[in-house]
C-alpha cells in the first residue's frame, strides 16, 4: 500500500503541472487583462503601460508562467492584483469558512441521505420508495439560487427568524451560537442537492446488492431480514458510495459559488467570483491549484478506503 501511495504522489506531480499550464492559458483567452481595472477617463496610455509593467503583464506569456511557477515551487502563490496581499494568506483566511459550510452541508446530507437510500432500496416498489424517490428528484431539480432566495425571503424577511446573510453581524465578535445561526439557511440549501443525490445512489446500490447471489444464500440459510441487512447488505452497499463521497470531498474547498453569493458567505466561492470580475489572475490560479490538490488527495483516499472496506481489492 505504501508503494502504491508513493507512486500515486509521483503521478500527481505532472498532473498538477498540466492543470496549472491549462488554467494559466485559459486565463489569457479572456478579453483584456487586470490593468483594465485601473483605467479611468483620465488615465493616459503611459499610465496604463506602467500599470501593466508593475503587474508583470508586459512580459511574454512563457516568462509570466515560469515566474509564477517558480514562486509556487517555493510555496508562494504570488500577490493579489487588487490589494497586493499574498495569495496564500488570502486563501488561508477564506478556506476556513468554506470548509465549515461545506463540511456541515455534506455531513447533514450523508446523515439523512444514506439512511433514506437504504430504506428506499429495502422497500422497493412500495409507497415509501415512491415517496422518497419523488422527494429526491425534487431536491435535485430545484435550482440552488431559487431555493436560497426563497428561504431568505420566508425565514429572513417575512418571519425574521434567521439572518439573511454573512457569517456574523459586522462589528460583533463571532460566537459559536451566532455562526451556527448564520449557517442554518446556507447549509440547508447546499445539503438538499447532495442529500438527494446520495439517496438515489444509495437506493440503486442497495437494490443491486439485494439481487446478488450471496444475499439469496443468506436468506436460504435462514437469516432474517434484519440480519441480512446488517451483516451483508450495508457494507457491500458502501463500496460504490465511497466513490460518490470522493467526488464530493473536493467541494469542501471548491465551495458553492452560487450559494455563497446568495448568502454573502465569506468563503472561497465568493472570493473566486470577485477574482474573476477583477481579472485577479493570482487568486484564480491559487484557487484552481488548491482545488486540484484536494481532488487528487480525495481520489487517493477513496482508493485506500476501497481496500479497507473490501479486502478483495489489492494494490500491487
Q: What is the pLDDT of residues 74-99, one digit of tens each?
A: 878 878 877 778 888 888 888 888 88
**Confidence at residue 171, expressed as pLDDT on a 0 to 100 scale:** 66
Decide: helix, strand or coil at residue 168. coil
pLDDT band at 296 (very low <50, low <70, confident <90, very high): confident
| Section 293-313 average pLDDT | 74
CB 39 within 8 A of CB 15: no
For 41-79, write each residue's pLDDT tens digit. 677 777 777 777 777 777 777 888 888 888 888 878 878
229 pLDDT exceeds 70? no
- The pTM score is 0.75
pLDDT digits (tens, 9 = 90+) for 123-157: 888 888 888 888 888 888 888 778 888 888 888 88
* CA separation for the pair 218, 209 (Å, rounded): 12
Q: Cell 482545488 maps to which residue?
A: 291
Amino acid at each position: 500500500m505504501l508503494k502504491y501511495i508513493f507512486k500515486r504522489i509521483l503521478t500527481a506531480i505532472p498532473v498538477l503541472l498540466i492543470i496549472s499550464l491549462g488554467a494559466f492559458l485559459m486565463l489569457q483567452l479572456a478579453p483584456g487583462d487586470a490593468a483594465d481595472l485601473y483605467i479611468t477617463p483620465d488615465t493616459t496610455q503611459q499610465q496604463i503601460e506602467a500599470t501593466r509593467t508593475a503587474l508583470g503583464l508586459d512580459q511574454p506569456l512563457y516568462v509570466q508562467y515560469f515566474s509564477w511557477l517558480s514562486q509556487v515551487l517555493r510555496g508562494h502563490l504570488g500577490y493579489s492584483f487588487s490589494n497586493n496581499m499574498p495569495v496564500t494568506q488570502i486563501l488561508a483566511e477564506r478556506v476556513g469558512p468554506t470548509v465549515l459550510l461545506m463540511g456541515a452541508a455534506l455531513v447533514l446530507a450523508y446523515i439523512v441521505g444514506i439512511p433514506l437510500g437504504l430504506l428506499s432500496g429495502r422497500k422497493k416498489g412500495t409507497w415509501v420508495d415512491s415517496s422518497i424517490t419523488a422527494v429526491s428528484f425534487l431536491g435535485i431539480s430545484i435550482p440552488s439560487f431559487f431555493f436560497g432566495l426563497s428561504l431568505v425571503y420566508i425565514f429572513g424577511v417575512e418571519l425574521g427568524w434567521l439572518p439573511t446573510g454573512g457569517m456574523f453581524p459586522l462589528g460583533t465578535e463571532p460566537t459559536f451560537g451566532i455562526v451556527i445561526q448564520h449557517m442554518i439557511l446556507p447549509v440547508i440549501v447546499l445539503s438538499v442537492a447532495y442529500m438527494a443525490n446520495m439517496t438515489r445512489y444509495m437506493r440503486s446500490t442497495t437494490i443491486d446488492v439485494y439481487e446478488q447471489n450471496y444475499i439469496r444464500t443468506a436468506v436460504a440459510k435462514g437469516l432474517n431480514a434484519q440480519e441480512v441487512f446488517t451483516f451483508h447488505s450495508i457494507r457491500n452497499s458502501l463500496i460504490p458510495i465511497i466513490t460518490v463521497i470522493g467526488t464530493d470531498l473536493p467541494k469542501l474547498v471548491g465551495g458553492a459559488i452560487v450559494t455563497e453569493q446568495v448568502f454573502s458567505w465569506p468563503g472561497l466561492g465568493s472570493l473566486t467570483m470577485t477574482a474573476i470580475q477583477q481579472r485577479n489572475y493570482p487568486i484564480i490560479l491559487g484557487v484552481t491549484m488548491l482545488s486540484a490538490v484536494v481532488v487528487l488527495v480525495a481520489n487517493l483516499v477513496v482508493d485506500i478506503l476501497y481496500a479497507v472496506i473490501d479486502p478483495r481489492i489489492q494494490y500491487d
